[in-house]
Structure 1
Amino acid sequence: MIDSRRLHNLNNCPIRPGPVVYWMSREQRVADNWGLYHAQQLALERQAALLVVFILADGFLGATLRQYGFMLQGLEQVARKLDGLNIPFLLLEGEPRHSMLQFIAQEQTGCVVCDFDPLRIKRQWFDGVAAAATVAVLEVDGHNIVPCRIASVKREFGAYTLRPKLRRVLPEFLVSIPQVVQHPFAWKKTVAIPDTEQVQIRLKPDAGVGVVPGFRPGEQAAFEALADFIAQGLNGYASRRNDPTVHGQSGLSPWLHFGHLSPQRIALAVATQGDSEDVEAMLEELIVRRELSDNFCLYCASYDTLDAAPDWAHRTLEKHRHDPRRFCYTQHEFEQAATHDLLWNAAQTEMLETGKMHGYLRMYWAKKILEWSESPEEAISTAIYLNDRYSLDGRDPNGYAGIAWSICGVHDRAWGERPVFGSIRFMSYDGCKRKFKVDEYIRHWRK
């Protein structure tokens, strides 16, 4: 059974006769999917068909071929797996609110189960459908181990305030995940597996950022990557994770972002490895830090602007707004990795070529954008543009929270005052040299 605390009613309409729709969005998988599982339970109780609907929004937040290609290949795998369970998968295109409301009316659906997502545009989609629909719209948080709305009812100051709230209830939620089964009630229509190559051609996503070769999307690839991390990467994780010159991070973020892999599945797999510094470090990143990002985006509507800055950070950035910049670059120069800083250029090049950037360097990368931009607002805009355009895990709460931490002091405290940054935490090239072999990293990624 699903814990009722994972559920949130988005309207007060009843569940009516008709097929149950699972509106897949953030959780693009069949296994370990609380939303899909709950939708099936509702359908079984009512002896109704279960339909899975995914709506493709054209040009979603500037996504490119890199992101669309990864997502569509994963969705085709989802469709095939669902087909084997007698659950039709429908890939719709268009403005999501209109498309879903039209589908509800056309197919006379009984209710809609949707994923939890704290991002503003997704909230507008789900809330918009819930407000206009005449059937129940239910949200299921299948992304956070402790559901975001349950973990806290307000924006948290930092990990130190959210951590104890999570730990108090974590044992209640870190449980085995029930799986979807063969569905006994067929839908009246026959649905073909979507031809995602043709869909991609029709969508015409920006091909200026191509796919990452050799990086496989989908649940199977995600499970293999998790198994490899447990076997090869967990031991020594605490000491290696901040060194960009070694393979010290989990590398799971793209699959997490697209919902090909459940965070709860990762946590269960890691937790079975016993008590160690490595296990503790991984669970801190996976649970506390990741769920803090969801909390930030849910309770701060301006998560992608300077308005997200805490009062002390806003004051100090305003005080130093007109400080002279030794270097100042345009968005295009940043995009081309054409700064004077070879380390920054190498980090940007890594993202351009692989769709990923080491987590420690993401902080340095964003802080230098602040240092070399004409204003904090321009720095935020540039950092979000680059991250969302080139990272496979762009347009994600982790990305917005990380940029806000680096530039706006979110989830941080005031440090020593200096030009441009004011009291925002500073990171330097020399500081990086004390952490890892900077020259080795630059040689690897230098154009």
Structure 2
Amino acid sequence: MHGGAVHTSGPVLYWMHRAFRSRDNWALLHAAQQARYLGVPLAVAFCLAPTFLDATLRQYDFFLNGLEETARSLAEANIPLILRSGDPAEEMVRLCTELTPALVATDFDPLRVKRQWLRTVTGHVRCPVHEVDSRNIVPAWIASDRREFMAKTFRPRIHRHLQDFLTVVPPLQPHPHAWPTLPGSLDFPALRARLRVDRSVQPVSWPRSGEAAAWDTLDTFLRERLAGYGQRNDPNQSVCSNLSPFLHFGMISSHAIVLEIGRRGLHGEVVDSFIEELVVRRELADNFCLHTPDYDQISGFPEWAQRTLARHRHDPRPYVYDDAQFDRAQTHDPLWNAAQHQLVASGKMAGYMRMYWAKKILEWSEDPAEALRIAIWLNDRYALDGRETNGYSGIAWSIGGVHDRGWTERPIFGTIRSMSEAGCRRKFDVNRYIHTWTPGQPSLFPASRTL
């Protein structure tokens, strides 16, 4: 919460930039409650950054399709969506100057660029700004006030507060105070026309976008795949939730998912494993990025990992590939190439393979800093859930030992945990995975096989 005098005659704005949904959205509900209390109109404001952290047409298309659905839901609740384009912080300052709001509510996000946006806005607007964590079940600043170094230290903190925050989210009610004159706003075609992104990475068609699609995906997972979730480390098994793009863009919340699991009376080992990934691991990723501003640099690795990587920095590499070779899956390893093809073709990668994929980038790059850069670039370029705290922490785990411990010392890796093709072969049918994802072969997502 940031200070400033309340202009009680002005409207309330909800600056939406992480939780893109009208349902189960604590920040939106807080803004609506404040607007009803003050007796003033409420609007949701969104500013599209024409470029954003290596996002391509693939991610923008998925996101904007979902936002159009959310705009319709907001309109049904008498809440307009104001669309702008440009630098989000500058545009929000400009909009606040125009509307003199009584209050601005906004989403919590620990990424550096988002923290800078918030600092700019709070430094220039005259009204209070309330930051609401609608992404985590336990708000990040309550879960821990410091960086947690392992899941085993963070898990008790989450479970200590979990039931306190797992309250039923009230539905969004129609807002009683209409705008006398709507502020200027772009339409969606105009918004899309202002994109300045790489259009060579095309949208994928396997996931529909939006809040309704997110709930349909959850329903299918709980009915058809959750029972097999224990096999999730086998990338040939279709047992994962497929919820990561929807969670990344805030089209559904982990809060709502956990409540739905409870409502259906689901329990057992696989449910516990899923909730561990959904809640503990995802919220640990937010903790990492919040308390590690250099989360995408090797300086963000734990000290033991930095030391061991430095000792082995000049170890001979069996292969060294450049950006283009990694990008085009032109390595000597058919398994790694298949994983990269899956990422390029479908916008996602099996979780176990994403670990192998990142660790091999470390093994085949000139140095750890270069490996980290390449892994983040490829992930953010192709993955629907790129530019996410989960991605940064997962890559940092793979390359820099974040949330892990030291293992047996090896060339290049030092005491960072390594992975091998032989280890993969002990866990799943590697040949089947390669066959599935090598171009020209059948795909799990046939409609998205254009590379």
TM, length-normalised to structure 1: 0.96
Offset at residue 213 of structure 1 (A): 1.8
| Pair 1:255 & 2:246 matched | yes
Contact 1:92 1:99 in 2 (8 A): yes
Alignment partner of 1:232 out of 204, 224, 227: 224
Q: Which residue of 1 aligns with 2:355?
A: 363
Q: Distance in 2 between matches of 1:124 and 1:321?
A: 33
Residue type of the alignment partner of 1:259: G
SS in 1 for 2:227: coil
Cα distance between partner residues in 2 of 1:203 and 1:100: 18
Deviations 1:143-165 (A, max 9, x none): 00011110000000110000001
Aligned partner of 1:3 in structure 2 is: none
Q: Which residue of 2 aligns with 1:401?
A: 393
The answer to whether residue 405 in structure 2 is matched with residue 413 in structure 1 is yes
Where 1:328 maps in the other structure, the secondary structure is coil
Looking at structure 1, the residues matched to 328 and 256 of structure 2 have their Cα atoms a distance apart, in angstroms, of: 38
Tell me what 1:354 maps to.
Answer: 346
Secondary structure at the aligned position of 2:434 is classed as: helix
CA positional deviation for 1:193: 8.5
Matched, 1:25 2:22: no
Match of 1:265?
Answer: 256
2:114 is the counterpart of 1:122:
yes
Instruction: Give the corresponding residue for 2:146.
Output: 154
Among 9, 30, 35, the residue aligned to 2:27: 35
Q: 1:300 aligns with which of 282, 292, 297?
A: 292
Cα shift readout 1:278-323 (whole Å, capped 9, x = no counterpart): 1100110011000000000000000000001111101000000000
User: What amino acid sits opposite 2:59 in the alignment?
Assistant: Q
| C-alpha distance after superposition, 1:356-410 (max 9, x if no partner) | 0011110000000000000000000000000000000000000000000000100
CA contact (8 A) 2:50 2:194 kept: no
Contact 2:85 2:191 (8 Å CA) reproduced: no
Aligned-residue offset at 1:202: 2.7
CA distance in structure 2 between the aligned counterparts of 1:46 and 1:196, rounded to whole angstroms: 31
CA distance in 1, matches of 2:6, 2:250: 27
Which residue type is aligned with residue 88 of structure 2?
P
2:202 corresponds, among 210, 226, 230, to 210
Q: Name the counterpart of 1:12.
A: 3
3-state secondary structure, aligned to 1:92: strand
Work out whether 1:388 is the aligned partner of 2:376: no
| TM superposition shift of 1:12 | 1.8
Residue of 87, 95, 102 corresponding to 2:79: 87
**1:146-194: CA deviations, max 9, x gaps?**
1111000000011000000111111101111112110110112247996
Show CA shifts across 1:18-52 (max 9, x none).
10000001000000000000000000000000010
Alpha-carbon distance, 1:203 to partner: 1.6
Whole-angstrom CA distance in 2 between matches of 1:167 and 1:36? 26
Q: Which residue in the other structure is 1:219 paired with?
A: 211
Structure 2 residue 225 is the aligned partner of structure 1 residue 246: no
User: Where do 5+ consecutive residues of structure 2 fail to align?
Assistant: 440-451
> Identity of aligned pairs, percent?
50
Q: Which moved more, 1:198-207 or 1:369-378?
A: 198-207
CA contact (8 A) 1:33 1:179 kept: no
Segment of structure 1 superposing worse, 195-204 or 131-140? 195-204
Q: Distance in 1 between matches of 2:257 and 2:5?
A: 35
SS of residue paired to 2:105: strand
- Mean Cα deviation higher: 268-277 or 129-138: 268-277
Q: Distance in 1 between matches of 2:11 and 2:435?
A: 57
Q: 1:77 aligns with which of 49, 69, 74?
A: 69
Of 128, 132, 140, the match for 1:140: 132
